């Protein structure tokens, strides 16, 4: 999917080690382009950028570029990259479900699904290239939704942790941020400056959905792991009633 020319390029990950593809592999790739189907990838045309942290590890934070397919009114499927250029690395997957589908999950399964209201109402989740008014309509569909995200490769540096040259170890369950000030300010500032994604007009535009916001499970899961944070309007934990 070609990006809107107005969308800033964002190439953030490592270049994996390895030899150039070579003549034979290039021919195979060209043959695949002509003869094989890419139908399952055709509808991954919703592009949003947000921030994730490893569940239980507040310092392990990274920027994630989501390319999503709208399955139906209650589910999206997303493939995650560390940038939006042709050489971006595939780093994980995310499934997004509505509040209604989340309610059908077994109780023990729900612990793997993070809430999304902070990402919406803080303005931290963005859809680069869309006018704010259209982006706001998209975000309205994510109010009260939940995501299950696995990262298989931490290809960008996270705080003091260097980028991994290859996808090492087990997949890691990621979590959402749920209060203002939880995202590392340098990470947040860098993305916003590079991609021209000022959160303030987004907050103001999305405030019209505040009356739709319901308390969500998981808002307080990592609350005590951060300091110096403040509540986000519309974000309340369903279990203890606290922001």
Q: Please give the full DSSP string across 54-122, using - where no structure is assigned.
A: ETTEEEEEEEEEEEEEEEETTEEEEEEES-SSTTPPEEEEEEEE-HHHHTTS-TTTGGG-EE-HHHHHT
pLDDT of residue 92: 98
pLDDT of residue 26: 63
Q: If you ran DSSP here, which 8-state letter would residue 158 be given?
A: B
Taking the alpha carbons at both ends of the chain, their separation in whole angstroms is 38
Distance from chain centroid for Cα 107: 24
pLDDT of residue 160: 85
Q: How many helices (H) and strands (E) does the chain have?
A: 6, 7
pLDDT of residue 20: 76
Cβ pair 39, 160 in contact under 8 A: no
For the chain, which residues score pLDDT lower than 50?
Answer: 1
pLDDT of residue 49: 98
Distance CA 233, CA 203 (A): 10
pLDDT of residue 28: 63
pLDDT of residue 24: 60
pLDDT of residue 12: 76
Tokens of 97: 């479900």
Tokens of 116: 């999304």
Tokens of 175: 């979590």
pLDDT of residue 30: 65
Q: Which of 193, 232, 236, 231 is nearest to 217 (CA)?
A: 236
């Amino acid at each position: 999917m070609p990006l809107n020319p107005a969308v800033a390029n964002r190439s953030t990950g490592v270049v994996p080690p390895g030899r150039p593809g070579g003549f034979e592999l290039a021919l195979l790739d060209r043959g695949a382009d002509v003869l094989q189907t890419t139908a399952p990838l055709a509808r991954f045309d919703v592009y949003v950028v947000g921030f994730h942290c490893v569940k239980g590890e507040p310092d392990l934070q990274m920027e994630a570029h989501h390319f999503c397919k709208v399955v139906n009114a209650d589910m999206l499927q997303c493939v995650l990259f560390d940038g939006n250029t042709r050489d971006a690395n595939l780093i994980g997957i995310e499934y997004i479900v509505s509040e209604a589908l989340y309610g059908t999950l077994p109780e023990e399964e729900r612990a793997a699904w993070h809430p999304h209201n902070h990402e919406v109402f803080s303005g931290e989740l963005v859809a680069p290239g869309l006018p704010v008014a259209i982006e706001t309509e998209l975000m309205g569909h994510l109010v009260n939704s939940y995501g299950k995200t696995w990262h298989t490769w931490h290809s960008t540096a996270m705080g003091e942790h260097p980028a991994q040259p290859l996808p090492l170890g087990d997949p890691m369950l990621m979590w959402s941020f749920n209060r203002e000030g939880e995202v590392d300010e340098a990470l947040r500032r860098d993305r916003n400056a590079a991609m021209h994604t000022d959160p303030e007009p987004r907050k103001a535009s999305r405030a019209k959905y505040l009356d739709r916001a319901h308390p969500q499970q998981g808002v307080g899961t990592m609350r005590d792991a951060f300091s110096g944070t403040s509540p986000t309007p519309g974000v309340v934990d369903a279990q203890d009633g606290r922001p």
